[in-house]
Amino acid sequence: MSDEAKAAPALPPPAVMSRSVVALGVVALICTLALPQVSNAYVTEVATTALLYVVLCLGLNIVVGYAGLLDLGYAAFFAVGAYTTGILTAEFGFNFWLTIPVAMVAACIAGIIIGTPTLRLRSDYLAIVTLGFGEIVRIIARNLDITGGASGLVGIERPVLFGFRLFQVQHFYYAFLVLALITIFVCLSVERSRIGRAWLYVRYDEDAAAGIGINRVSVKLQAYMMGAVIASVAGCLYAAKMTAISPESFTFAQSLIILLGVVLGGMGRIPGVILGAVLVALLPEVLRGAGTYRPLVTAVALLAIMLFRPSGLWPDKRV
């Protein structure tokens, strides 16, 4: 189908951000820095979750928003990171910081194994293969001894930074804030880089992109691996914060929540994705009393966005 070609191609964002966006960013940064000082532990906890989702959604946004690939097993890479940290610190006594590069390598390898065969095919296949992959990772985590089986791993070591042990909610809030800022910085730079433009091109017209010499498969694989690495780092920090992880934290539902965050705010746009991530982090708090209706509400939100506002809640004005 050549329908993709009909959609108006979005130009890459201009190099200089408008003054209002910068001002908004500064205000938001000051507020987030001050938050744990002026609020209670509950608010800080929810805000930490929101920052975790900001990282995960930005990572998935590289795959879905930039390269236009649907990944339905994103939580699997999150699990790869969390389990790498969990196993290495709890079973082998590794230092927390050393587990991060190991997790990044592990996520890269997993990304190559899944991505290489499927990215040559239609993008639809990736969706279903990643769905299967997400399940495989969960089943493996449930059934191996080293991952602690269905009950998971406990006693994951808390990270120590320059002799200071991170253990309070506020500590992890700031740790996730730093990770979120790094992720935003990476996304901003990659968005305007050569590879960022290649992603955009491949997304709008694969044939034309191939025609000017872009290696479609390799470009897509890079997006997929970059997303995988970001999720795995988030997983490392998550494991350190929780000190206990179980396979049930990495279900298909988790992957869907992250995808909803990306779609809700506006695929491919950093401010929109951040907004979406914060919204999905608040969702369980808002829907506390909804019980079994919660998945339905999530589902209706996703469908409604796709049908009535496909460019998200905070779309790009120029498109």
Partner 1 sequence: MTFDLVVQQLANGLIVGSFYALIALGYSMVFGVIKLLNFAHGDIYMTGAFVGLVVFSAVGVWLGNGWLAVVCALLASMLVVGLLGVIIERFAYRPVRNAPRLSILITALGASMVLNGGALALTGGRHFAFNTDLGYSGIDISAVHITYTQMILVASALILMGGMQTFISRTMYGKAMRAVSIDMGASRLMGIDVDRVIALTFFMGSALAAGGGVMAGAYYGSVHFFMGFIMGLKAFTAAVIGGIGSVPGAMLGGLLLGLLESFGSSLPFVGSEWRDVFVFGALILFLVFKPTGILGRSVVERV
**Shorter beta-carbon distance to partner 1: residue 126 or 179:** 126
Q: Are 228 and 69 in contact (CB under 8 A)?
A: no
Helix (H), strand (E), coil (C) string for 53-105: HHHHHHHHHHHHHHCCCCCCCHHHHHHHHHHHHHHHHHCCCCCHHHHHHHHHH
182's CB contacts (< 8 A; 6+ apart) are none
CB of 210 to partner 1, least distance (A): 8
**Shorter beta-carbon distance to partner 1: residue 70 or 166:** 70
CB of 181 to partner 1, least distance (A): 28
CB of 303 to partner 1, least distance (A): 3
CB of 295 to partner 1, least distance (A): 4
What span, in angstroms and rounded, lies between the C-alpha atoms of 235 and 250? 10
CB of 150 to partner 1, least distance (A): 10
CB of 144 to partner 1, least distance (A): 11
**Shorter beta-carbon distance to partner 1: residue 66 or 238:** 66
Q: Report angle CA 280, 283, 284 to the nearest 5 degrees.
A: 120
What span, in angstroms and rounded, lies between the C-alpha atoms of 199 and 193? 10
CB of 156 to partner 1, least distance (A): 25
**Shorter beta-carbon distance to partner 1: residue 36 or 247:** 247
Q: Are 59 and 71 in contact (CB under 8 A)?
A: no
Q: Are 97 and 116 in contact (CB under 8 A)?
A: no
Q: Report angle CA 159, 242, 37 to the nearest 5 degrees.
A: 75
Binding site for partner 1 (CB under 8 A): 1, 3-4, 6-7, 64, 68-70, 72, 114, 117-118, 120-125, 127-129, 131-133, 135-136, 139-140, 142-143, 206-207, 210, 252, 256, 259, 263, 267, 292-300, 302-303, 306-307, 310
**Shorter beta-carbon distance to partner 1: residue 49 or 118:** 118
**Shorter beta-carbon distance to partner 1: residue 8 or 16:** 8
What span, in angstroms and rounded, lies between the C-alpha atoms of 4 and 31? 40
288's CB contacts (< 8 A; 6+ apart) are none
**Shorter beta-carbon distance to partner 1: residue 242 or 301:** 301
**Shorter beta-carbon distance to partner 1: residue 6 or 194:** 6
What span, in angstroms and rounded, lies between the C-alpha atoms of 266 and 80? 27
Kindly provide the residue ranges of all beta strands, DSSP E only, lying in 103-250, ordered along the sequence.
160-161, 164-165
CB of 99 to partner 1, least distance (A): 25
Q: Indicate the SS3 state at residue 139.
A: helix
